[in-house]
Structure 1
Amino acid sequence: MGFPGGRRSLLLVVVVLLATVAVAATVWRVFAPAEVSTPARSPYPTAPSPAPGVVSRLPVAPLVVDGRLRVYAAQRQVYADRSLDLRYRTTPYWSYRRWPAELAGVVASGPVVVTRWSDGLLVAVDARTGRVAWQTEGPVPARTVTARRTGAATVWSPEGLFVAPTAGDGAVVVVAGGDGLAAVDLTDGRLRWRAGVGAGCHESIGTTVAGRLVSVDVCDGPATVEFRDADTGTVEIRWRPPGAGDALVATPLGCRTGRSGCAGLRTVTGTGDDPGRGWLLGDGEPSAAPVLDQPNSALAGETAVGTDGGALVGRDARTGAERWRRAGLGTARVLAVEPDRVHLVSGDNYLVTLDPVTGARRSSFTLTVGADGTGWAPGAAYAVDGYLAVERLREPVDPEADDQRYFFTSEPVLVAAT
């Protein structure tokens, strides 16, 4: 008499087990580690040549790649659109997404886009096709940097991620994180070297035009600037500026992009009322460059740009000899530099771009688009290949405000051709 009831119980158990398996399978499909690569479906665009002026207004910060694409960063995705002279962001040209890792930084050299993830994985994407070129393990980032809505910190100046030249026109990607450093070949992701460093006491700040990784080390004594060959990993120079204390701060200057390919350095020793000293970087120890001592001075190629008596002055960075002087620029200040351009912005957001060697004006126009006006303050800026991108911040600027209050409009990033 109890058999039919037992059969029903067995059937119920089977149904529950099947439902559990189905739910588990669904959860696994949704939450399992995964990557999704969506390659390009159209030809690689040609490099545009837009006339000087604002060319686009964007909700997020672009990385200019190969003079052709705009590459963007999201929490778990890197994607590109085309082309650089389009007014608005468009449907992705290609996209690469990972789960559950988060995107920690992006750098590019030529058509190679290298992404770094929170689990330490490095993934290179060929910008021409959107296909993954290589993957390799690297040091896990020492900390998670929370980027604001535009993602500028991830693409314009990523922490612990740099590009450096090597012999024979090659290049490596140098990665710093936690207690380790590593360099991989930009072309194929092959590990070139790996080195251990002290955790929490060794900070890599950039790479030089001569192919060195620059770090500030406080692990084994007073704060010291360390120069490591990015090709071999060999520490070539350990150097302390005169009068350096334990609170040495070093900031790269004259970088080709982000904090890679830098030609100078400014140090603040942390002793007395030291405002800082400027240095030029080459094959040996840094050489003093007094024209870069001023905190508001900039280095563009081999020209130091600063103010003197209300005029903007360009001087030979090595000798200090005056190359040019321009008065009548009012309150204009240096917003960004490239080896062949100095970008100045005035109080009414009028952009003037000068040739750093001659001081000649290359272009000038108001940084505005549509009916947005100029009632905003410049935030983070980035310049490469003759393009300038700048965040627009709501005045008065409040760094503690949420993104809606902090940024000017929902499309706060302007890109201009100069």
Structure 2
Amino acid sequence: MARTKNIDMTQGPILKELVLFALPLLLGNAFQQLYNTVDSVIVGQFVGSASLAAVTSTAMIINTLVGLFVGFSTGSSVIISQFFGAKKDDMLQKAIHTALTTTFIMGIIFMIMGYFITPPLLVLMRTDANVMNPATVYLRIYFMGILGLMFYNMTSAILRAVGDSVRPLIFLIITSILNIILDLLFVIGFKMGVAGVAYATVISQFVSAFMGMFVLMRSKENYGVSLQKMHIDPKILRKIFAVGLPAGFQMAIISFSNVFVQSYINSFGANSTAGWGVYGRIDAFVMLPLQSIALANTTFTGQNAGARNPDRIKQGIRVSLLLAVIITVVICALEYAAAPYIIRLFTSDEAVMKFGIIFIRCNCMFDFFCCFNQMHAGVLRGIGDAAAPMVIMIFSFVLFRQIYLYTITRLTSSIYPVSLSFPVGWIMCSLLMLIYFRLSHWERRISPN
């Protein structure tokens, strides 16, 4: 079995440990983002701006449902890793088969929900009439194949929980390449438009799910899977939900709130929708280093909290924050300068390019604020305080952002203040997170005395 090398973060050079831990996360997340980006580039270049808007603007709807499941898979990974580390093979088997069985049931529910909620959600987003039909086609095909995505995520979570981070990355690389090939074949060769992009994504996801299940079912290790053992253990399921629901709820609520942000963007027309969608694809890549460092910081904090070493945690905060800020500022400076060229990768439509450049440049100047809220949230989660980051982020990214948009659109009809709705939420979140972090006296929870 291929396993990651265990990194003891309680001693040694902090910067080296954070970088070594963050790099595999960064690589894996980059391939994950490659799926959607390639879809957008091919659609924008070979189908048209309306179809580009359809593919990119629907991410908020997809993320709302998928966010719930990501929380569930995270909870499953935690429980499975605990049983694996404790060498409780019987409980490990029950946890794995409970997670997989529940994944199948959730997949069926999400497939039906996704199919039927697509039209009303697109109307709620004030989707342009030219975008409505291709967006409906894309989303419905995507949701009909969502089982593939869910099983890939769950099988990968199981493998990572038992120390194997290599094969999930290999699955991603293979299916990313497959997705590109199928995109080109279906869109350019067969002229299938957005339907071709959706089918390419669904097929690729099912291939990755098959590879994950194949590895687990062929394994002779204590985490091997058998169809005869597929059932749900209620006690274990409650443990999984206890860990995973807060994270999943947070992701789903924030994603759903972005549906309303999208509705304000859509009110400026299909070109604005397409431009915002391109910005979203680029921003997902820009945020990857920051998010990977934040995840590494959470693990770093968790290990040192267990070792009762608050001083090293404080050093880790300074190092990770400085590293994240430097990398983010450098990337965003390049992004600001290259905005016209980046947009042109997706489309040559001048109207779409105009909006895309506005969105990129208005937002990238404030990306470094995310470093502060993400690093502090990572530390709080690492010491076991997951509730506070969830509440602060939901308030900042959902409630406060919606109040801002509702107010600003009644004061002006300009696109610029609307495009700043994300930075407004980031700044509020960073301020609240810092205040809570300073007042929480987190050191007392892990003090050796």
TM-score normalised by length of structure 1: 0.24
TM-score (norm 2): 0.22
Which of the two has higher C-alpha Rg?
A: 1
* More relative contact order, 1 or 2 (CA 8 Å, 6+ apart): 2
More strand, by proportion: 1
